[in-house]
Amino acid sequence: MNKFFLFFLLYLTIESLSAQTEKYFIFFKDKPVHDSLFQNPSSFLSEKAIERRERFNISIDTTDLPVNPSYVNSLQTLGINVWYTSHWLNGAYVSLNKQQLDTLSYFSFVKEYEAMESALAGGIMLDSTDYSNTFAQNKSIGITSMHQDDLTGKGISIAIFDSGFENTDQYLSEVDVSHTFDFVDNETDVYDDHDHGTQVLSILGAYQESSFIGSAYDANYFLYRTENIYSEYRIEEYNWLLAAEKADSLGVDIISNSLGYFDFDNPSQNYTQSDIGTEIALITKAAKWASEKGILVVTSVGNEGNGYWKNITFPSDAKGVLSVGAVNQEGVPANFTAYGFVTDSLTKPNVVAYGVQTKVINSRGNIASKNGTSYATPLVAGLVAGLMEEYPLVSPLEWIELIEKSSSHYLAPTSRIGYGIPDYQILRQEIEKEIVSIVPNSLLVYPTLIYNEEQLTIRSNFVADLMYIQVADVLGRVYLEGLYDYQKALEIPVVSDMPNTLIVKCWVNNQSFSQRVFLLKD
């Protein structure tokens, strides 16, 4: 073999190694923190995201602030492909080659990095009839009764994280889709991949009269592809986290997640049984962070009950997350529903719902029957969405507690079904009791989330001749005020020129009380 050929072969080998890229997450050491950023949160959060934080008294903190753009520019200058940035993790999701990887140590702003697929090298590894086909599943937890009460998810934003939403735009065109993004392929089109998300969305958002009615058909939806069905690496946990950040920034109220992880194509990335409940998994941390931002995360526990793993998957082990298992139409646990645990401080799954022979609409527009905790989850998410329409001030942790209290086995939870099957009527009663205990002055203002032009009602149970009511905006501009009979409900028409946030104040018996009302407009 001549020297030229050897040199050429070596050159090709080096070029091949140089061209080979892998996906990494690069963690930054710090981020710019300026008072001006906190004073102007609308520069990085939507109005609805800010209102959600105000509603639950959640402070805007450094995890909400964007990453340092100069760090991103420095990486891009080297030719590193920056797919996304994460303000929760304070870093960047990138693809790079071996040569570029070796240069990271020269950047003072790089704290560490983690391979998300099969590492090149190096890095620090971090640990009735209208319902027709859908009558049985909706009735099983009282959604049919909820719809009769005209609670259908109006004004509620639901994000679905899944493996694709194939042909949703064709066969579920009635669904109000506000935003889409494919975090696997870095594009906005989510309609050309897998149809698992199509099926999940149909359970929630479809409205095809006398054929198929979803649990929260008047909600608006955010469709995010985070799962690649052709491989399994921890990169999908990062996709999930980025989707959660996007959902948070756009003001989403509920995340419905039917994905779970525990083993990967790269065995070094596998989790162990002892990791359950420890918040080691990135996706578990991300779900917990989303909850702490005021988003209710509803997630399936997985279908590993009759497999070798048997137990719940990540992120369903997270505290502050509503984890859902599956039962059949008779309420018997499905053989595949994953096993959880019952401790003094935490029970998983939290609840169970109809997940055997659940009706869905698939990517061919056909109605099919499917089994899985994936299909029980959107039923529970829809139940909450309907009630959240009327009770928007209930926090994620309060929703979980109330749903557990409404369930069939609340007094005797088990590791297979948690607190059991939720019930809409009991849940509503529990909410009403909770409202009385949270608001001992018994001033009720409802609804506190108004979609387009509706009517605001104020009631009081005070013993007094009169009460003084004022309705104003956050700047103090008064829209209505005066003395009113405490025994009668005061009905106030909401008009289009009112601002997005109103403050209702009541003075009675030398005491004053106030309540915020949020207006959602098209």
Model confidence pLDDT, tens digit, residues 113-165: 888 775 554 443 323 557 889 999 999 999 999 999 889 999 999 999 999 99
**Cβ(467)–Cβ(507) below 8 Å:** yes
- pLDDT-wise least confident of 151-165, 434-448, 504-518: 434-448
521 pLDDT tier (thresholds 50, 70, 90): low
Average pLDDT over residues 64-83: 91
pLDDT digits (tens, 9 = 90+) for 442-489: 455 555 555 555 666 666 555 555 667 888 876 777 877 777 765 556
**Cβ(518)–Cβ(505) below 8 Å:** no
pLDDT reported for residue 127: 31
pLDDT for residue 323 is more than 70: yes
Highest mean pLDDT: which of 67-71, 376-380, 394-398, 474-478? 376-380
Alpha helices in 229-371 (DSSP H): 235-249, 282-292
The 3-state DSSP class for residue 161 equals strand
What tokens were used for 339?
């096993």
Cα angle 176, 315, 431 (rounded to 5 degrees) comes to 60
**Cβ(482)–Cβ(492) below 8 Å:** no
pLDDT for residue 12 is more than 70: no
Instruction: Enter the DSSP assignment of 332.
Output: P
What tokens were used for 495?
């008009």
pLDDT reported for residue 511: 66
The CA distance from 466 to 29, in Å, is: 59
The CA distance from 217 to 205, in Å, is: 4
Q: Which of 219, 172, 218, 221 is nearest to 195 (CA)?
A: 172
In this structure, how many other beta carbons lie within 10 angstroms of the beta carbon of residue 62? 13
Q: Which of 479, 48, 460 is nearest to 252 (CA)?
A: 48
Cα angle 55, 521, 178 (rounded to 5 degrees) comes to 90
What tokens were used for 431?
């909410």
168 pLDDT tier (thresholds 50, 70, 90): very high
| Burial annotation 490-508 (CB, 10 A radius, 16+ → b, else e) | bebebeeebeebbebbbbb
pLDDT for residue 236 is more than 80: yes
Amino acid at 17: L
103 pLDDT tier (thresholds 50, 70, 90): confident
The 3-state DSSP class for residue 100 equals helix
